[in-house]
Structure 1
Amino acid sequence: MRDQDKTKEQLVNDLDDARQRAAKLRREREDLNAFTYTVAHDLKRPLSLILGFSDLLMEEYATISREELRKELQFVIQAGRRMNSVIDEMMLLVHVRDREGLKITSLDMGDVVSEALDRLAYIVKRRQAEIVAPDQWPEALGYAPWIEEVWFAYISETLRLGIRPLRIMLGATEQADRNARFWVRVDERNLTTDQRTRVSQVCDSFKPDLVQRIMEKLGGQLGVAQREGRCSELYFTLPSGRNFD
């Protein structure tokens, strides 16, 4: 009788393990499907731009002016850089699926932000944008390469507004729950009504799949803040370094 009870217990344990493995495989399959769709979607637009401008140059090369040629090539280069950025993001997304062995440390957020801004320097110049960041940042825990991608995604999304000139403000606040909140805002003081409407639409258009996965792995959150019913900032939170003993 005792042996039968042990056998039943073992069967129950085996069934639980099987269910857990099946659920894990199902989640991984869903992640893979989402990953495949994201790759195809994000690469299609810049690739179409490269092909389109290349065809145009082939057809009009003999008659196009040097200035027009330079402008067309700049579009091709910009699209190529976007493709390279997408590929980097996708490679990082694969890495984000597994946190095992990940070393969480106190971040030097100033350095992390600087790395993201270096990658965006070309676009910032093209969009006639000004980026304002504080000299001091609150302590926070995380993994620097991933948080660099978060800043890159947030600032890139804001730059896509196409407003010129554009003043983007970066900052952080220490919250009552002892988490640090990092944010990106647009200085709206000199914007037209139409431009302010475009800023408010960022909250609806921003689909940060990569950022969502990163925050889940690092124990943080992401979101949008609204003021008077309008989008006022994109933000993410991280555990404060002061919680880490």
Structure 2
Amino acid sequence: MDTAHFSKPQATILIIDDVPDNINVLHRFLCQAGFRVLVAYDGEDGIATAEYALPDLILLDVMMPGRDGFSVCHHLKQQTITAEIPIIFMTALTDIEHKVKGFHSGAVDYITKPFQQEEVLARLTTQLSLRQAQQQLMQRNRELDAYAHTVSHDLKNPLSAIISLSDLLLESLSPNKTPSERQLRELSFIRQAGQQAVNIIDALLLLAGVSRQKTVQLIELDMLSIMHTVIEQRLDLFIKRYHGVIELPAYCPNALGYAPWVEEIWVNYISNGLKYGGSPPKLRLGATPEENGHVRYWVRDNGPGLSKEETATLFKPFNRLEQTKKVDGHGLGLSIVQQIVERLGGQVGVNSQLGHGSEFYFILPGCHRH
């Protein structure tokens, strides 16, 4: 059996079994196949060996005295250092119940007794190949994430300088002499271009942060307070620029979420409503409790509305509608919203009809009070 395609010259296999004859058979032909083989004769010893040696794969017997295979598998999958190690259960041919229970406890495959060498090697090489591919992908993702952060931070410094210098030039021109219309237009363009680039970088950093953060602690959020914060502190100048009118609800139910991310959702929805709404834009913000205990939050605008074809692609990354390309933007906002809401256990969507405006919404778990 050819195992030379592994990048590791010698993959390590841990056998956990209380029957010496089983171990002897497996040990002999796995060593002949080029694997490094470790052995444990009970569950506790198997856990200790796995945590110390960190093998590439574990062959785990189901029925053992003391700590059985299901308990061992569950324990290893709960530990950070061993959670990603693939586990193959060893079970009798007719133990369908054990096979199903093994998959539920975290095993990736099973082999049947009595052992067939070709089957064992085929299942081992398949899982080791998958594991290697997974590790390579994780490493590439880490490298890409580090690269994106480095480039983003490096770009923000000169862009911030461009924006600051363009502001100083605009201020210095006004008191001394009347600048030409062309000078003002070009300086304004420099500032707008710099600010747009900074916005793109901020969006990419936020998107990377959402993807990178594995666990998020959900807490009860005062949603009405978050709405006020976004409107009064983050979008005040934006609202004035578009002469927007925003109607807030008198009451808004709370939800479970992560405040910095939920604030970004409102910023995206409201700013889009201002840019793509009517003239002037008029927005209504509100919330509707769902039957399943979730809360549906929405932003309704007085814009031209969207077709079914347009709404179907709105939340795809870098998608921008033909009717909105004249407005400054980078096409990342709604994609970020979708990723954030899905990480928080919710859903996003839009209801729209040409000529009747649009309603953008997101759904989050509600707070159940007893």
Indicate the residue corresponding to 1:211 in structure 2.
Answer: 337
Residue type of the alignment partner of 1:95: G
CA distance in 2, matches of 1:68, 1:101: 51
Deviation at 1:27, TM superposition (A): 6.3
Residue type of the alignment partner of 1:224: V
Q: TM-score, normalised by structure 1?
A: 0.68
Indicate the residue corresponding to 1:43 in structure 2.
Answer: none
Determine whether 1:108 maps to 2:235. no
Deviation at 1:180, TM superposition (A): 1.1
Moved more, 142-151 or 157-166: 157-166
CA distance in 2, matches of 1:231, 1:166: 11
- What are the Cα deviations for residues 51-97 of structure 1, in whole angstroms up to 9, with x where unaligned? 99999999xx96636x9988887776666555544443333222212
For these two proteins, the number of residue pairs brought into alignment is 230
CA distance in 2, matches of 1:32, 1:222: 29
CA distance in 2, matches of 1:74, 1:135: 39
Q: Give % identity.
A: 33
Q: TM-score, normalised by structure 2?
A: 0.48
CA distance in 1, matches of 2:335, 2:25: 49
Structure with the bigger percentage of helix:
1
Q: Which has the larger radius of gyration?
A: 2
Matches for 1:88-167 after TM superposition, within 5 Å:
88-117=202-231, 118-161=233-276, 163-167=278-282
CA distance in 1, matches of 2:198, 2:148: 20
Indicate the residue corresponding to 2:350 in structure 1.
Answer: 224
Determine whether 1:238 maps to 2:344. no
Residue type of the alignment partner of 1:214: I
Indicate the residue corresponding to 2:299 in structure 1.
Answer: 184
Q: Give secondary structure in 2 for the equivalent of 1:160.
A: helix
Distance 1:240 1:123, change over 3 A: same
Deviation at 1:147, TM superposition (A): 0.6
Q: Give secondary structure in 2 for the equivalent of 1:164.
A: coil
CA distance in 1, matches of 2:183, 2:354: 46
Residue type of the alignment partner of 2:345: G
Deviation at 1:238, TM superposition (A): 0.9
Distance 1:79 1:112, change over 3 A: farther
CA contact (8 A) 1:50 1:79 kept: no
- The structure with higher relative contact order (CA 8 Å, sep 6+) is 1
Q: Give secondary structure in 2 for the equivalent of 1:200.
A: coil
Residue type of the alignment partner of 2:274: L
Which runs of 5 or more structure 1 residues have no equivalent in the other structure?
Answer: 40-46, 189-195
CA contact (8 A) 1:107 1:139 kept: yes
Which of 123, 127, 134 is the aligned partner of 1:20? Answer: 134
Which runs of 5 or more structure 2 residues have no equivalent in the other structure?
Answer: 1-21, 36-56, 59-123, 154-160, 315-319, 321-330
- What are the Cα deviations for residues 168-199 of structure 1, in whole angstroms up to 9, with x where unaligned? 1111111123221111111x4xxxxxxx53x4
Indicate the residue corresponding to 2:283 in structure 1.
Answer: 168
Distance 1:130 1:53, change over 3 A: same
Deviation at 1:34, TM superposition (A): 9.7
CA distance in 2, matches of 1:144, 1:33: 27
